[in-house]
Amino acid sequence: MDDWNVVVTTRDGGFRQAIRFLRELGPVDRTGMFNVLVMRVNDIPMFLEELRSRWVESATASADISRVSPVSHTFAFTTADEFETKAREAILTFVPALRGKTFHVRFHRRGHKGILSTPNEERFLDEALLEALQRTGAPGRITFDNPDAAVVVEAVGDHAGLAVWEREDLQRYPFLHLD
């Protein structure tokens, strides 16, 4: 599935049970990466609420699923330069939501080992946001201690997606835990 907008990581031994659980919420596909699934959902806020409701009701959901990460912007890439160009373009759309806020970028990479470096890409995207925010007159600040928002970047093979989550979202949806 190349048009995914949700990445799911499962706990060891929970892969098949997670697939069964998630199929009730939308199409689920294997990625070829260990314990990583992707989904396509039509309405992310509705998906989050439905998942939250089922998460509370299901004793096995949190035992089988480690993290669920919906994204709002997706793109395909083949090189590190193309990834950086497209990721920077997408992440700058979050500037209005991050004006004057504390935040940090989290990059989860599956594939492209030795080509994309998690710490380097996080710094690159942090710096792009900080520069853009400075230009708006409402600078942001990087923090890992209870930030106002977290920006997640998910890469699975040659596809990537990004989203920004406010502190309230991270508290409301325990399966988002981005760090």
Alpha carbon distance 69, 57 (integer Å): 20
Two tokens at 84? 């950086």
Q: Are residues 82 and 167 in the same domain?
A: yes
Alpha carbon distance 152, 124 (integer Å): 14
Q: Are residues 82 and 169 in the same domain?
A: yes
Q: Tens-of-pLDDT digits for all 179 residues of the chain?
A: 678 999 999 999 989 999 999 999 999 999 999 999 999 999 999 999 999 998 888 877 888 999 999 999 999 999 999 999 999 999 999 999 999 999 999 999 998 888 888 999 999 999 999 999 999 999 999 999 999 999 999 999 999 999 999 999 999 998 997 76
Beta bridge partners of 29: 38
For residue 159, which amino acid is it? Answer: H
pTM of this structure: 0.91
Q: Are residues 40 and 108 in the same domain?
A: no
Domain assignment of residue 133, yes or no: yes
Say what the pLDDT of residue 1 is: 67
Domain assignment of residue 1, yes or no: no
Say what the pLDDT of residue 10 is: 94
Residue 113 φ then ψ, to 5°: -60, 135
Judging by DSSP bridges, how do beta strands 102-110 and 141-142 pair with one another?
parallel
Say what the pLDDT of residue 179 is: 61
What's the number of domains the chain is made of? 2
* CB burial readout 143-169, b (16+ within 10 A) else e: eeeebbbbbbbbbbbebbbbbbbbeee
